[in-house]
């Protein structure tokens, strides 16, 4: 290495050390901000106990949506439902040929379009596994304060 290369190497090392010295106190103070995890004051090495089991909500009317394009929430338990490549129990009530008899909401037309927007005769494979977007509800209190307000158009 020539003289100029050695000077550059030393300058880079010295600059890196200076940046580290400037940023280290900021990183340390971030840990002292009174931030508390959802575990409370329990240390990570200590078991926080088993949470209470929350029951699925009983069957109910459709749940209001809180924002545009929100997938509808499932207003009943789906605990024993089979949704796999061979069967989808949701369609036994929500399919276009069965929804009237069961009184359920029918599957949206959007579920019959593929990723390119082409209409399909059956539900698109990308929409077949309902619980990827639609979720059942449990009777549980929020873990953190929720200040979310629905959009005005849906109130």
- DSSP for the chain, please give it: --HHHHHHHHHHHHHHHHHHHHHHHHHHHHTTS---BTTBT--TTS---PPPPPPBPPS-SPPPPSSTTPPPPB-S--TT--BSSS-BTTHHHHSTTTHHHHTPPPPPGGGGB-TT--B-SS--GGGS-GGGT--B-B----SS-------GGG-
pLDDT tens readout for residues 4-28? 778 888 888 888 888 877 777 665 5
Residue 31 reports pLDDT greater than 70: no
pLDDT score recorded for residue 152: 81
Instruction: Provide the annotated binding site for heme c.
Output: 76, 90, 93-94, 111, 130, 133-134
Q: What is the mean pLDDT of residues 55-71?
A: 85
Residue 113 reports pLDDT greater than 90: yes
pLDDT score recorded for residue 135: 93
For the chain, the average pLDDT equals 84
CA triplet 115, 119, 122: central angle to 5 degrees? 95
The fraction of the chain above a pLDDT of 70, given in percent, is 90
Instruction: Provide the annotated binding site.
Output: 76, 90, 93-94, 111, 130, 133-134
């Amino acid at each position: 290495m020539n003289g100029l290369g050695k000077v550059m190497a030393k300058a880079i090392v010295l600059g890196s050390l200076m940046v580290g010295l400037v940023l280290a106190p900021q990183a340390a103070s971030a840990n002292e901000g009174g931030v508390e995890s959802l575990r409370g004051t329990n240390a990570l090495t200590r078991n926080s106990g088993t949470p209470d089991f929350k029951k699925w909500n009983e069957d109910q009317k459709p749940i209001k949506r809180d924002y545009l394009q929100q997938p509808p929430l499932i207003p009943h338990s789906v605990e024993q439902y089979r949704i796999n490549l061979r069967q989808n129990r949701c369609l036994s009530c929500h399919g276009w040929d069965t929804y009237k008899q069961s009184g359920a909401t029918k599957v949206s037309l959007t579920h019959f379009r593929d990723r390119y927007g082409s209409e399909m005769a059956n539900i698109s494979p990308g929409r077949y596994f309902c619980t990827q977007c639609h979720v059942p509800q449990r009777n549980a209190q929020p873990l953190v304060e929720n200040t979310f307000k629905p959009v005005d158009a849906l109130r």
